[in-house]
């Protein structure tokens, strides 16, 4: 069973977090928007308070779909964005919001907007040597707000991801290509990127805009919603 919690009033907004973290990463965002949206946060499989789910991206998404409200706005950050694209292929949503995310995270001969697979593996291997320490350092590079850092660090320690889930998530990030799927989606799409993001280079904004997708680029790293100018 996956963990979820819902708060607020208004149109349904569902939040999907990224690799290694848990849904509490969104708590400040929820506090800001709970009077405008009915917000559901979900811990990904094997992350935080959720049970592990065997399989890959389709099995993970099928479990998430079981607890989605009807026709929600679906916001996915990083790995959560990749899952959100796949979910949008399977069920009706009213809008897709991708935050620091991509339909293909890895660079290849036909896709210049990803990062080098070897560099990605080195980054993930370094994080997994001491996940808590690695995630905390990663977050510290995203914001200087000490009160936010304290809360986020507590959440990282309290609700860690399982080794199996971390490996599954990396497999999804390294081997999933949803470029064609994104191009074929009927739902409205919006994208928010960070200009200092080293995992999802902001130059991907050119590609999104070529598809007439509304794209914002904030002065931030890989977690744009920690920026005070982040607006839904």
Distances (CA, A) of 39 to 30, 50, 132: 7, 18, 27
- Give yes or no: 147 in active site: no
How many helices (DSSP H) and strands (DSSP E) are in the chain? 9, 7
Question: CA 134, 100, 173, 123 torsion: positive or negative?
Answer: negative
- Give yes or no: 155 in active site: no
DSSP 196: T
Contact 32, 52 (CB under 8 A): no
- Give yes or no: 47 in active site: no
Task: Report the C-alpha gap between 165 and 102 in whole angstroms.
Answer: 20
- Of 12, 124, 197, 220, the active-site residue reads 197
Task: Report the C-alpha gap between 155 and 141 in whole angstroms.
Answer: 17
Q: Return the biggest CA–CA distance within the chain.
A: 46
- Of 78, 101, 102, 124, the active-site residue reads 78
Q: Where are the beta strands (DSSP E) in the chain?
A: 4-8, 11-16, 37-42, 73-77, 95-99, 189-194, 214-218
Distances (CA, A) of 32 to 12, 25, 37, 183, 225: 15, 13, 10, 31, 11
Task: Report the C-alpha gap between 205 and 202 in whole angstroms.
Answer: 6
Task: Report the C-alpha gap between 206 and 204 in whole angstroms.
Answer: 5
Active-site residues, by number, are 78, 197, 222
């Amino acid at each position: 069973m996956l963990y979820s919690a819902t708060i607020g009033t208004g149109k349904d907004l569902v939040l999907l977090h990224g690799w290694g973290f848990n849904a509490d990463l969104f708590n400040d965002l929820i506090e800001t928007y709970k009077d405008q949206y009915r917000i559901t946060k979900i811990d990904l499989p094997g992350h935080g308070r959720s049970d592990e789910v065997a399989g890959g991206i389709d099995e993970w998404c099928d479990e998430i779909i079981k607890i989605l409200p009807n026709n929600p706005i679906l916001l996915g950050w990083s790995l959560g964005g990749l899952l959100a694209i796949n979910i949008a292929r399977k069920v009706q949503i009213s809008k897709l919001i991708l935050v620091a995310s991509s339909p293909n995270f890895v660079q290849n001969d036909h896709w210049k907007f990803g990062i080098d697979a070897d560099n990605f593996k080195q980054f993930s291997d370094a994080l997994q040597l001491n996940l808590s320490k690695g995630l905390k350092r990663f977050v510290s590079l995203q914001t200087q707000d000490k009160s936010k850092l304290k809360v986020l660090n507590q959440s990282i320690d309290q609700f860690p991801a399982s080794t199996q889930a971390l490996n599954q998530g990396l497999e999804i990030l390294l081997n999933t290509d949803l470029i064609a799927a994104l191009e074929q989606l009927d739902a409205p799409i919006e994208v928010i990127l960070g200009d200092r993001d080293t995992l999802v280079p902001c130059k991907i904004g050119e590609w999104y805009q070529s598809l007439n997708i509304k794209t914002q680029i904030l002065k931030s790293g890989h977690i744009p919603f920690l920026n005070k100018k982040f607006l839904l």
